[in-house]
Amino acid sequence: MLNEKIEAAFNGQINAEMYSAYLYLSMSAYFAATGMAGFANWMRVQAQEEMVHAMKFFDHISERGGRVALKAIDGPPTEWDSPVAAFEHVYEHERKVTGLINGLVDLAIEEKDHASRSFLQWFVDEQVEEEDSASTVLDRLKLIGDSGNGLFMMDRELGQRVFTPPAEPKT
């Protein structure tokens, strides 16, 4: 049985993950409107990943006898000054999410909820990947600078990203 503190914290994380999806969809719309279909695709795939994360928390709460309580999702920004500014936002956002996940791990340890601690390890590992992915794109954008050719090539590359659902753990 999921205790009340963990249940409330995990419900909060569902909201944070759904906000992340909403943020990345907003960024996808921004890039699509600026003619950068590859960047838009990258953000759309990122939004799909965030929804998978939200559903993992949703399912964990349900499987542990808890109650999912969805709350309103704040509206994300809709404009950025440049692709660099957008990816700076992505990187800072992923760092914030890492902090939220680390706080959940701390809570699971404090509450001696070993099942939730084990569940959260996937997210700890995922956040390393998320931060690395965002910082890699950001670093490359900074190298490109205002080069139209560089942005064109980067847009084409980011357009190749495909959503791949995470593998289910073997039981």
The reported pLDDT for the residue numbered 66 is: 96
Could you give the 3-state DSSP secondary structure of residue 74?
Answer: coil
Q: What are the C-alpha distances in Å from 42 to residues 75, 108, 116, 150, 160?
A: 20, 33, 30, 17, 8
Secondary structure element (H or E) that encloses residue 128, with its range: helix 114-144
Band (169; pLDDT cuts 50, 70, 90):
low
Can you give the pTM of this predicted structure? 0.93
Closest CA to 47 of 30, 70, 68: 30
Give the span between the Cα atoms of 102 and 159, in whole angstroms: 31
Give the span between the Cα atoms of 158 and 40, in whole angstroms: 8
C-alpha angle with apex 90: 86 to 91, nearest 5 degrees? 120
User: 104-141: per-residue pLDDT in tens?
Assistant: 999 999 999 999 999 999 999 999 999 999 999 999 99
Q: What domains appear along the chain, each with residue ranges and CATH number?
A: 4-158 (1.20.1260.10)
Amino acid in position 27:
M
- Per the structure block, which two tokens stand in for 50? 């965030």
- Per the structure block, which two tokens stand in for 106? 């701390």
Band (156; pLDDT cuts 50, 70, 90):
very high
DSSP 82: S
Whether the per-residue pLDDT at 171 is higher than 50: the answer is no
